[in-house]
Amino acid sequence: MTKTAIERDFPFEEIDPIADRESWRKEINRPLYHIHKWWANRLGSVFRAIVLGTLQDKSKAVWEGFYEKHNFSKKIVLDPFMGSGTTLGESLKLGAKVIGCDINPVSSFIVRQALQHVEQGDLLKAFKRIEKNVSARIRSYYETVDPATGERCQVLYYFWVKTVITPEGEEIPLFSDMVFSRNAYPSRKPDSQILCPHCWAISVGRFDSEDHTCPSCKKSFNPQLGTTISGHSVASKTGNKYKIGDLVRAQKTAPGHRLYALMVLDPSGNKRYLRAGQHDLDLLKKASEDLHGLKLPLPTLPVRAGNNTDQARSYNYFHWRDFFNDRQLLCLGLLLQEILLIEDRLVRDHFLCLFSGTLEFNNLFCSFKGEGTGAVRHMFSNHILKPERTPLENSVWGVDGKSSGTFSTLFRSRLLKAKEYLDRPFELSADATVPGVDAKIYCNPPIRTKVTRDLQEFEKAPSAALVLNGDSSCLPLPDNYVDAVVTDPPYFDFVHYSELSDFFYAWLSEAVGGEYPEFKRQDSSSPGEVQDKSPKDFARNLGKVFTESARVLKPEGVLVFSFHHSRPEGWLAIYEAILASGLQIAAAHPVKAEMSGGSPKTAAKHPINLDAIIVCKKGGAEKPILEAWDGAVRDYQDYSQRFQAIGRTLSLGDRRVILASQVLKHCSLAARTLGSVEIMLLRVFDEYDF
């Protein structure tokens, strides 16, 4: 049987430096997959190489064609776990037709907007109209007066703190320290903003100062000490100590907040900090009153119980609406109401996608990253739903290009950038660090594809993306239909996609629930979602999708996916799923994983920087000569030598990824049982002397 290029080898030596560069600014280097938040996006350059390896003439090495223009218009690539659409975008650039399916309605919605060509002029026209109709009103809720100068200033950010009430009726703010703003590089710029715990005045002091005197009330205090004790408890004035969790639960409603400071832009364009004053409280009151006097499209869905959602629920966040304060609800509601007036459905859906993405930076789970960096730490920085004790309120519309994560800035940095990428899709140069070498290589044709939900339309169009929403264990496709399956399944217990995406779903379902059936539900989850529960459930559901993918895959095609895990159970579940599908693992190659640092990998004891690319076939792969374990160890040693040759140090986590994936390959080729694979995987994780 013929061999595809990816069965023979994968050029990680060449791909890794490009992937590394991409990983530092993924949103700039592949804006197509960052038009909206999605979790665990894979690297476009890695997936370009994978797709090439599955489609390229078998006589050619993958790397040879990396910067060439291709036209695989006769080929169809399927991704049954589409996510943000990385496989789809990369395959379209190579000229192939693509089919993507995701069980999550939010994923399908954003991929449809990402891949669809829209005239930039139409987007600009709609933006101007929204700006004309609502921006002044929204911005009026983000103004203040500097008491020192009497000048009107625009507010960039409001600084809030959560409070708890003790049984004595005392309200205690939850500060872990009193330095509320410091530079991202404090040793270079030590000046920070300090809040006085006595009179709540703000003043400047060193970020590490342990003795500070408030210029307003003249009291001295240690700014490194906050109002909480070891982060878990608070003490009342009477000396009683209470656990924060107990006080929050006793309250029955989401914790209260107190506004203490603002970062403003003064009329000369300078950023300044101000103490929160009466004017700001009055404006907030007005926003609340205005909100209650209007009928705006706001989320009504409850937060269901779940792994991540329970973190929010333990703080009494029982409705998605509770994630926002009244000003945010008002301004977001006004914006959404205006977007819904756009008549052209395609343009409207693009703005809904932008709007939904804006939510991530405009809610009470956001916090301040510090000066000298993108100021807003968005709510999903850790793939979880952790209530924020000191939330940062961003301005929904944005302030004269000076703010980040706002509707007006994301319009340019996300929506327009993604559309520009469709017009001029580029690859990153491997030699970009060499002076005079252009960092971008424009070797791809523009992406002009028909994005459809309908198979007949897909078949008729010369370039087409069939973007489906549903469970990929049951695809509406004929047998032996696609040339390759290239995907990235959920990683067992890493990300709870639908629990997190419910945050966006709650708004989108209000907006388009009447039009798209997948937005008529109570939440974004579905029974077939491949998600942890137990390794057995994960393996069974994944096996169903692999089985279905194998059905629609042509006999000579390959199913390729990326994976890593820090525990043997994760790898065993993968083996079980492949076994169930009747596929065989023909090859396993290491490659750079999606992030350089960042959770959840860095949270693990042994950080993992590699993914394994697992290449599966319907049969006919060459049988190895060595025993499974010996063969796996030999391949592992070959790979470690190759990494050594390029000066790459492998962490223990990386070494385990390589060896575990080779164990899977050799066991699959030798048709080993689950029991014997488990024994070998335990050896990889517990005994093997790396």
Ligand X SMILES: C[S@@+](CC[C@H](N)C(=O)[O-])C[C@H]1O[C@@H](n2cnc3c(N)ncnc32)[C@H](O)[C@@H]1O
The C-alpha torsion from 203 through 207 and 208 to 214, rounded to 10°, is: 0
What distance in Å separates the CA atoms of residue 202 and residue 184, rounded to the nearest whole number?
19
Sequence-distant (6+) residues with CB within 8 A of 278 are none
In the complex, the smallest distance separating the C-beta of residue 236 from ligand X, rounded to whole angstroms, is 46
Are residues 375 and 355 in contact, defined by beta-carbon separation less than 8 angstroms? no
Instruction: Indicate the pairing of strand 482-487 with strand 553-563.
Output: parallel
User: In this structure, how many other beta carbons lie within 10 angstroms of the beta carbon of residue 57?
Assistant: 9
Smaller CB separation from ligand X, 34 or 666:
34
The single residue listed with the structure tokens 């093997």 is 688
User: In this structure, how many other beta carbons lie within 10 angstroms of the beta carbon of residue 261?
Assistant: 23
Phi-psi label, residue 278: left if phi above 0, alpha if psi -120 to 50, beta otherwise = alpha
Amino acid at 109: F
In the complex, the smallest distance separating the C-beta of residue 109 from ligand X, rounded to whole angstroms, is 12
What distance in Å separates the CA atoms of residue 537 and residue 476, rounded to the nearest whole number?
24
Instruction: Indicate the pairing of strand 450-452 with strand 464-469.
Output: parallel
Smaller CB separation from ligand X, 81 or 639:
81
Reference 616, options 664, 663, 683, 656; nearest CA is 664
Smaller CB separation from ligand X, 104 or 154:
104
Reference 593, options 570, 612, 609; nearest CA is 609
Smaller CB separation from ligand X, 472 or 581:
472
In the complex, the smallest distance separating the C-beta of residue 1 from ligand X, rounded to whole angstroms, is 28
Smaller CB separation from ligand X, 35 or 274:
35
Q: State the residue number with the nearest CB to ligand X.
A: 83
Number of H helices, E strands in the chain: 22, 25
Smaller CB separation from ligand X, 489 or 590:
489
What distance in Å separates the CA atoms of residue 446 and residue 426, rounded to the nearest whole number?
10
Are residues 196 and 216 in contact, defined by beta-carbon separation less than 8 angstroms? yes
What distance in Å separates the CA atoms of residue 585 and residue 588, rounded to the nearest whole number?
8
Smaller CB separation from ligand X, 468 or 667:
468
In the complex, the smallest distance separating the C-beta of residue 531 from ligand X, rounded to whole angstroms, is 7
Reference 530, options 487, 490, 578, 576; nearest CA is 490
In the complex, the smallest distance separating the C-beta of residue 545 from ligand X, rounded to whole angstroms, is 5
What distance in Å separates the CA atoms of residue 338 and residue 355, rounded to the nearest whole number?
11
In the complex, the smallest distance separating the C-beta of residue 488 from ligand X, rounded to whole angstroms, is 3
> What is the chain's Cα-based Rg?
27
Smaller CB separation from ligand X, 84 or 449:
84
Task: Summarize as ranges the residues that interact with ligand X (CB under 6 A).
Answer: 33, 38, 40-42, 80-81, 83-84, 86, 101-104, 107, 471-473, 488-490, 497, 528-530, 545
Smaller CB separation from ligand X, 80 or 357:
80
In the complex, the smallest distance separating the C-beta of residue 548 from ligand X, rounded to whole angstroms, is 9
In the complex, the smallest distance separating the C-beta of residue 365 from ligand X, rounded to whole angstroms, is 21
In the complex, the smallest distance separating the C-beta of residue 80 from ligand X, rounded to whole angstroms, is 6
Smaller CB separation from ligand X, 103 or 650:
103
In the complex, the smallest distance separating the C-beta of residue 471 from ligand X, rounded to whole angstroms, is 4
In the complex, the smallest distance separating the C-beta of residue 324 from ligand X, rounded to whole angstroms, is 25
Annotate 176-190 with b (16+ C-beta within 10 A) or e (fewer): ebbbbbbbeebeeee
What distance in Å separates the CA atoms of residue 405 and residue 398, rounded to the nearest whole number?
8
Smaller CB separation from ligand X, 99 or 422:
99
